Amino acid sequence: MSLSLLTSCSLSSLPAGRVLGGFHVGTGSPPPAAWPLQNLSTPVLHGGEALLECWVVPEGAPMQAGAHEGVAWRRSGDLLFGVVDVAEAGVLPEPGRSPMQQAAFEVYARIFRLLDAEGLPHLWRLWNYMADINGEADGLERYRQFNMGRGDAFEAGARSVVGRVPAACALGVASGPLTVAFLAGPTPIVPVENPRQVSAFLYPDRYGPRSPTFSRAALVHPPGQEILFVSGTASIVGHETVHPGDVRAQTAESLDNIAAVLAQASLKSRSGAFALGDLGYRAYVRHAADLDAVREVVAQRLGDAPVTYVLADVCRSDLLVEIEGQSVR
């Protein structure tokens, strides 16, 4: 197997030459890493004090590294992982753009320029985190401002904003810059949508001037492999939030949505069907006090599948939980 995800790894046991990049989750300082590391500065609610997750390639695989307009990246063959952080205080918004909108635009414009320079046009999966995601500034929720900047950058980079768009998540944490991690590869994704939900890129404008740019899931194919990325999935049916105020029902609805996405992904899979128990998951919980309720519902449905629970704000203020997952075959 060429690309694999190591969850809960320790820095000392990691062969640095095999790590493409990864994630640190927790409120302490991130470890010093020689590879691109996205720091998600928020408590891990279950599964340890802090968490280190890494994408690794086999011993002896080629490895190149670089930094391009503030994007830290590593590349092995045709797989590239990168991280870019942009503080809103450090951007100079163009007229009519808010600092968050500008920061999102710049992050994505830099990613697209790097990928163009590296000859790897295809974004597979994005991890977006920002402070105060539900806060309002200039009369518009900050997540909606983020969507405007992201969408503008996709268009400026001559990428489609509908259809074949990457899998993603977008969550809020207490503080810090806008941070975006990404995995890119040599082939287009196979997009997967959810028949229970309106595609996010087609959400009506009551959710903001620009619809979010992500697929419900993406199948990707490194040489000899199939990876399924299920995007952040919440209690949305059609385009509307369901079960506001009821965290158990929201968790169950999110899992119903993931099951529906897996059924669609199974139709397009090269490696066989996907069942709920086949994936590894990360669950984002808005209120720490809801952890036990979320865990109970998840355990009923997912059994022993690995789930990490993280404190984070979901991108609509009425959403209490969001769950994402991946399967690497």
Instruction: Please list the residues that pair with 310 across neighbouring strands.
Output: 44, 284
In the sheet that holds 44-46, the strands lie side by side as 44-46, 307-311, 280-285, 321-328, 227-233, 217-220, 190-192
d(CA 150, CA 199): 17
d(CA 108, CA 114): 10
- Site stretch for ligand 3EB (CB under 6 A), options 34-42, 80-88, 98-106, 231-239: 231-239
Rank residues 74 and 125 by Cβ distance to ligand 3EB and give the closer one.
125
Looking only at the bridges linking them, the beta strands covering 217-220 and 136-137 are: unpaired
Rank residues 108 and 214 by Cβ distance to ligand 3EB and give the closer one.
214
First to last CA, the chain: 8
Cβ proximity of 38 and 12 under 8 Å: no
Kindly state the helix (H) or strand (E) to which residue 71 belongs, with its residue range. Answer: strand 71-76
Distance of closest approach, residue 236 Cβ to ligand 3EB, in angstroms: 5
- Site stretch for ligand 3EB (CB under 6 A), options 43-51, 87-95, 232-240, 272-280: 232-240
Q: Does 241 contact ligand 3EB by CB under 6 A?
A: no
Q: Does 231 contact ligand 3EB by CB under 6 A?
A: yes
Q: Around 239, how many Cα atoms within 13 Å sit in the side-chain half-sphere?
A: 13
Smallest CA-to-CA distance from 122 within 75, 89, 78 is with 78
Distance of closest approach, residue 214 Cβ to ligand 3EB, in angstroms: 4
What is the token pair recorded at 314?
Answer: 């979901």
What is residue 104's three-state secondary structure?
helix
Out of 21, 82, 191, 232, the only residue in the binding site for ligand 3EB (CB under 6 A) is: 232
**Binding pattern for the stretch 98-137 against ligand 3EB, x by CB under 6 A and - elsewhere:** ------------------------------x---------
**Binding pattern for the stretch 140-179 against ligand 3EB, x by CB under 6 A and - elsewhere:** ----------------------------xxx---------
Rank residues 35 and 201 by Cβ distance to ligand 3EB and give the closer one.
201
Rank residues 19 and 310 by Cβ distance to ligand 3EB and give the closer one.
310
Q: Does 269 contact ligand 3EB by CB under 6 A?
A: no
Distance of closest approach, residue 239 Cβ to ligand 3EB, in angstroms: 8
Q: Does 236 contact ligand 3EB by CB under 6 A?
A: yes
Cβ proximity of 291 and 309 under 8 Å: yes
What is residue 106's three-state secondary structure?
helix
# chain residues binding ligand 3EB, by CB under 6 A: 12
What is residue 95's three-state secondary structure?
coil
What positions carry a catalytic annotation?
Answer: 322
**Binding pattern for the stretch 176-215 against ligand 3EB, x by CB under 6 A and - elsewhere:** ------------------------x-----------x-x-
d(CA 127, CA 111): 13
Rank residues 57 and 310 by Cβ distance to ligand 3EB and give the closer one.
310
Smallest CA-to-CA distance from 202 within 168, 230, 234, 162 is with 162
User: In the complex, which residues of this chain contact ligand 3EB (CB under 6 A)?
Assistant: 128, 168-170, 200, 212, 214, 231-232, 234, 236, 315
